[in-house]
Amino acid sequence: KPAKRLFNSLLNHSLVSSGFKQQCNTLISMQFQQHLQLNLLDM
C-alpha cells in the first residue's frame, strides 16, 4: 500500500513537471516570436 502511494505521488509529480515544462516552452517561444517581430520592425 505505501508503495502504491509513493508511485501515485511520483506519477502526479511527473505530470506536474511535464505541464510546467510545456508552459515554459510556450512562454519561451512567445518571447522569441516577439523578439523576432521587434527585430523585423527595426529593419
Domain containing 22 equals 1-43
Type of residue numbered 1:
K
Tell me, what's the pLDDT at 26? 93
Q: How far apart are CA 43 and CA 32, in angstroms?
A: 17
Instruction: Summarize pLDDT for 12-43 with one digit per residue, the tens.
Output: 877 788 888 899 899 999 999 888 888 888 76
Tell me which DSSP letter residue 1 carries: -
Q: How far apart are CA 2 and CA 16, in angstroms?
A: 21
> CA 34 → CA 8, 20, 41, 43, distances in Å?
39, 21, 11, 14
Tell me, what's the pLDDT at 40? 81
Domain total of the chain: 1
Tell me, what's the pLDDT at 43? 65
Tell me, what's the pLDDT at 20? 86
Cell of 19: 505541464
